[in-house]
Amino acid sequence: MITYKVGNIIDYQQFIELLKASTLGERRPIDDEARMKRIVEHTNLMVTAWEGDLLVGAARSITDFAYRAYLSDLAVRLSHQKQGIGTELIRQTKLAIDPKAVVVLLSAPKAAGFYPKIGMEHHPRAYLLRNEDDLNQS
Ligand SMILES: CC(C)(COP(=O)(O)OP(=O)(O)OC[C@H]1O[C@@H](n2cnc3c(N)ncnc32)[C@H](O)[C@@H]1OP(=O)(O)O)[C@@H](O)C(=O)NCCC(=O)NCCS
């Protein structure tokens, strides 16, 4: 049986272990412990999925709880994927914020088919700034 918990109850080492077990570790700075510690400590909405004492999934968001929740990481242990856990982590994230607030995310390449499948809306106007020098001077 899988149980879901809302709250910052895992530390960065548990989070790194989950990222590795889900394969998302390939795309996150898991070898930079100081950065991973900041990532976890500054998260203000963490939903976790548990099978007993085993952490099997997490949805990590930054949110104002009233308007937007930026879902930064969604990871489910490889051994537990395709059982509805990823979908439920997103549902619990949505339930934790104001009903009128919206969950926003950028998909990892491997998960691009997942979000439309579970009913999320594609938004064509997402923008990234990787380097401040890329900004045009006025
Ligand atoms: C993407 C991920 C979170 C999905 O979690 P999950 O628990 O396996 O998802 P669910 O079981 O809720 O899947 C719901 C549906 O989407 C499908 N699905 C799951 N992963 C998919 C993927 N990567 N691409 C397309 N469809 C996918 C499932 O088969 C299921 O369909 P079904 O109802 O017809 O069986 C999980 O596969 C994962 O952790 N992947 C590696 C890390 C990653 O890429 N995370 C996303 C970062 S943006």
Domain that holds residue 10: 3-134
The torsion angle over the Cα atoms of residues 28, 31, 33 and 39, rounded to 10 degrees, is 0
The angle at the Cα of 105, spanning 104 to 110, to the nearest 5 degrees, equals 150
Q: Domain count of the chain?
A: 1
Ligand 1 centroid to Cα of residue 36, in Å, is 24
Q: How far is Cα 85 from Cα 133, in angstroms, rounded to an integer?
A: 40
Ligand 1 centroid to Cα of residue 111, in Å, is 7
CATH number at residue 15: 3.40.630.30
pLDDT in tens, the chain (138 residues): 999 999 999 999 999 999 999 999 999 999 999 999 999 999 999 999 999 999 999 999 999 999 999 999 999 999 999 999 999 999 999 999 999 999 999 999 999 999 999 999 999 999 999 999 999 987
Quote the pTM value.
0.97
Q: Which atom of ligand 1 is nearest to the CA of 106?
A: 48
Q: How far is Cα 16 from Cα 40, in angstroms, rounded to an integer?
A: 10
The protein residue whose alpha carbon is closest to atom 10 in ligand 1 is 84
Q: Pick from 48, 47, 67, 64: which is nearest to 56 by CA? A: 48
- Residues facing 58 on adjacent strands: 48, 75
